[in-house]
Amino acid sequence: MCILHQRQVLDAIPAWKDLLVHGSQLSGKSCQLQPQTIGRRSSSAMSMLPTLSLFKGKSYPTFAKVQKSVDSKKFYAALFSFANYWEKHLEDRVNIQLPDSSWADMSTHAFAKELMTRPGGNYPKYGAFDRDYAGSEYDGFQDIFTSAVSANLEHGRFNHAKDVIENYYTLFVSDEGDINMRGPQVGQFGLTLSLLAKYAHYTGDTALLQKHKAKIVATAGMLVKLHEEGLALPNSDSGHGLIHGWSESDACLKGRPEIWWKPYFSNSAFTIRGFRDIAALPLFKDESANWLKRADALQKRTVESIKASIMTDKGKTLYVPPLPGTKQTFRESMAARGDSEQAWPHRLYAELLHANILPKELQNQVQDTVRAYGASSMGVIANVGVPSPATRDILGFISYGSALSLLYLDRIDEFVLFLYSHRYHVHNRGAWLAGEVTGTAGGVAAFCVPAQMTIPIILRWALVLEDQDSDLLYLGRGVPREWLGTGKAISIKQAPTRWGRVDYSIMLTAPGKVRAQVKFSGKVPKEIEVKLRFPKGGKVKSATVNGKEAKIAPNEAVLVQTDGQTEFIVEAIGV
């Protein structure tokens, strides 16, 4: 996919917007297009089999007199119709402006790719190529649902998020709360509850949740049942009080799937997050007290169990295992037997970090474990398998939970490494197709939609990020220093939050001077943190907020008490 600009195509058309064209390439000033079929829509409805008026453009010589070039007016009319079609389906996304516009283009491309992959625009598909991964056996995969809802909500694409939820809860969620998918993943049920709560907060639409309330309560009820089973175990059992179950869907394909029915910390962590977030909605007032009580009990038990499980004899870095009751690292366990209960540790750690329910000290220790014991590649969660001297595998999907944790922990340089590594090592060149798992030595990777959703999700979080448990909004926390150093605008407009929409921008206005602006269009949080990561070598000397002197925090930020105000101008001087 490439981007065509106004000057390259037709200067006579004003108000031209960037155009994404699937599979096309331009060469120089000649505006030659490689062979490509461009079509004009005859219907505004989204369909996998649209009715088009087709024109073919060629940049190579014609064959004898049989082939005739299409009239250029018809070709470009169809081209612009094609552009208008996609613009219509993507016009509700938030406006992001960055020094390198390709980052925002990449997010737009991801949403277009998602629509192209989903039959009818909303039916889930894990990939696009049969069998991996367009086969129907993958359609109910929870990661398709959770990554799509997350990405579309964060970018303000509420209608599509609603369509995805409606489709999934109608076709894939049973009255008992489980899903039509082999190998349901326990942690993803908790993440689902959390995202449904975010949908209600962002959109104000509780009617959709009311419609599916019985199924939502049933899903939470399954987690309650699993919690009860954990509580029924003897106190001497390392899994007492924790959520047992599969973390990875592929466990059900093994000869003895019960091996992976274990009290993984990630299962309990996402259950805690889900219970707390969904309980905050008045719609579930009858169930909320029980859910919150269980969340508190689960958190206490999870933290207690993790602390008791930490190993001090595995290396210089403390080792946090993904489950209690083990004396081996995941590498040692997987090397010892092929059916290791610690298989798929990448998911176990990514989800544990994603839930963000641990004290910061423990959360940091988990991140350090991932980095020190071989669960990361190029700064991204690795797809952990048998070690190879030739390559390391990078996990394209679900790894965004680790990136979220890095932001919350203020490990920004590591977050920036994740951001760039994912873009340049997980996506192929030109077409920007994201692989489920990609090797550091190159080669072919299987495309999957959840991996495609990663850049939109973490790019939004880099600019605007909510604290999940406090009345606090982070602004610009993940912005790379180099972006600010360009002197070009960095902004996001109408980013949705649980308080309402917010505009945020930051710019280096002169050497050593930074100006950030924040504007809320609805309610405001109690506090906002405005990050001021000066270009490399510089640091903040002083800052003002709306003309008044502000205190600089040790983490290069200004923490602002909003006091009900809706607009803020932060100006900083560096040294």
* Per-residue model confidence (pLDDT) at position 338: 87
Average of per-residue pLDDT values in the chain: 90
Contacts 24+ apart (CB under 8 A), 137-141: 137/182, 138/181, 139/172, 139/181, 140/168, 140/172, 140/179, 140/180, 140/181, 141/181, 141/249
* pLDDT of 42 higher than 60: no
Q: Is the pLDDT of residue 327 over 70?
A: yes
Q: Alpha-carbon torsion 257, 261, 265, 269, what sign?
A: positive
Q: Rounded CA gap, 379 and 422, in Å?
A: 9
Per-residue H/E/C for 394-447: EECCCCHHHHHHHHHCCCHHHHHHHHHHHHHHHECCCCCCEECEEECCCCCCCE
Residues of the chain above pLDDT 70, percent: 90
What span, in angstroms and rounded, lies between the C-alpha atoms of 227 and 304?
16
pLDDT digits (tens, 9 = 90+) for 230-274: 999 999 999 999 999 999 999 999 999 999 999 999 999 999 999
- Residue by residue, DSSP assigns 28-79 as GGGTEEPSEEEEEES--S--SS--EEEEEE--S---TTT--PPPHHHHHHHH
| pLDDT for the residue 331 | 96
pLDDT digits (tens, 9 = 90+) for 47-86: 333 343 444 556 667 777 777 777 889 889 999 999 999 9
Residue 423's pLDDT is what?
Answer: 97
pTM: 0.89
Write out pLDDT tens, residues 416-468: 999 999 999 999 988 999 999 999 988 889 999 999 999 999 999 999 999 99
- The secondary structure of residue 282, as a DSSP letter, is G
- Give how far Cα 93 sits from Cα of 141, 256, 444, 460, 468, Å: 25, 45, 31, 11, 23
Domain ranges within the chain, ordered by starting residue: 2-90, 473-574
Contact 254, 197 (CB under 8 A): no
Q: At what angle do helices 412-421 and 400-408 cross, to 10 degrees?
A: 160
pLDDT tens digits along 165-186: 999 999 999 999 999 999 999 9
Mean pLDDT, residues 287-306 taken together: 99
CA distance 503 to 476: 11
Tens of pLDDT, residues 133-166: 999 999 999 999 999 999 999 999 999 999 999 9
User: What average pLDDT does range 319-330 have in this prediction?
Assistant: 97
Instruction: Give the CA diameter of the chain.
Output: 85
Query: What average pLDDT score do residues 496-518 get?
Result: 98
- Of 164, 158, 190, which Cα lies nearest the Cα of 177? 190
How is domain 473-574 classified at the CATH fold level? Immunoglobulin-like (2.60.40)
Is the pLDDT reported for residue 312 higher than 50? yes
Write out the two tokens for 285: 């007032």
Question: In the prediction, which pLDDT does 59 show?
Answer: 64
CA 403/CA 463 separation, integer angstroms: 13
Q: Would you give the DSSP letter of residue 574?
A: E
438: its two tokens: 């990609």
Q: Which amino acid is at 394?
A: I
Element (H, E) at 383: none
Rounded Cα distance, 173 and 218, in Å: 10
